[in-house]
């Protein structure tokens, strides 16, 4: 049809103006949301990693009218933010950094009195040490240490019933894996040292 020929000529003209012709691929079999696209459609992809389209869109003459009752032709597109971030991480464009303001995280088991945990956290905070407390105790010490490590917290303060009874706590540096038994009053010097 003459309409298709005119569209192809228009597409050729646009491609002639493009400075990156080698990066544009025309695929007449591409289909996106048949219900509302009425003209040209596009997808933006990367060759590696094969993650699918990062962006897509096209022309739709009737979509806005469905919601407003007025025929308003338009073009639009969307970006898959999660795919964009995943691609950037995989290609090394973005760096995944562990960032947290907490210097110490408290690991306590469910059998420990939460009031005591909060008292210890308040003490550390009064000394200027940003302290993370989980919403509830961990099922085990190892689970707690792994969680704090994942959060990027440098020190794990391990509090169990035995530690509270003896007045001594276990402080583990999650960077060096070094553990030491300390009194609460000693933590300030170690963490800030």
Kind and range of the H or E run holding 170: strand 169-173
- pTM score over 0.75: no
Higher-confidence position of 72 and 29: 72
Domain regions of the chain by residue span: 2-91, 104-192
Distance of CA 112 to the CA centre of its chain: 32
CA distance to 120, 121, 159, 168, per residue, from 162 (Å): 15, 18, 8, 9
Residue found under tokens 């806005």: 64
pLDDT in tens, 14-33: 888 888 888 888 887 887 76
Q: How confident is the model at residue 95 (pLDDT cuts 50, 70, 90)?
A: confident
Query: What is residue 172's three-state secondary structure?
Result: strand
Residue found under tokens 């940003």: 130
> Would the pLDDT of 180 be above 90?
yes
Second CATH level (architecture) for the domain 104-192: 3-Layer(aba) Sandwich (3.40)
**Phi and psi torsions of 127, nearest 5°:** -95, 5
Q: Give the model's pLDDT for residue 17.
A: 87
């Amino acid at each position: 049809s003459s309409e298709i020929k005119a569209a192809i000529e228009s597409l050729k003209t646009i491609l002639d103006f493009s400075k990156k012709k080698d990066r544009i691929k025309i695929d007449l079999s591409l289909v996106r949301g048949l219900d509302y696209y009425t003209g040209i459609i596009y997808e933006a992809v990367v060759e590696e990693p094969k993650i699918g389209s990062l962006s897509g869109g096209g022309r739709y003459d009737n979509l806005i009218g469905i919601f407003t009752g007025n025929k308003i032709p338009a073009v639009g597109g969307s970006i898959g933010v999660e795919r964009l971030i995943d691609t950037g991480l995989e290609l090394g464009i973005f760096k995944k950094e562990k960032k947290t303001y907490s210097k110490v995280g408290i690991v306590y088991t469910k059998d420990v009195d939460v009031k005591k945990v909060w008292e210890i956290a308040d003490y550390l905070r009064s000394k200027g040490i940003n302290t993370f407390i989980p919403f509830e105790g961990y099922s085990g010490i190892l689970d707690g240490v792994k969680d704090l490590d994942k959060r990027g917290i440098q020190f794990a303060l391990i509090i169990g019933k035995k530690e509270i009874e003896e007045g001594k706590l276990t402080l583990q540096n999650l960077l060096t894996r070094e553990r030491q038994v300390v009194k609460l009053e000693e933590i300030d010097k170690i963490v800030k040292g």
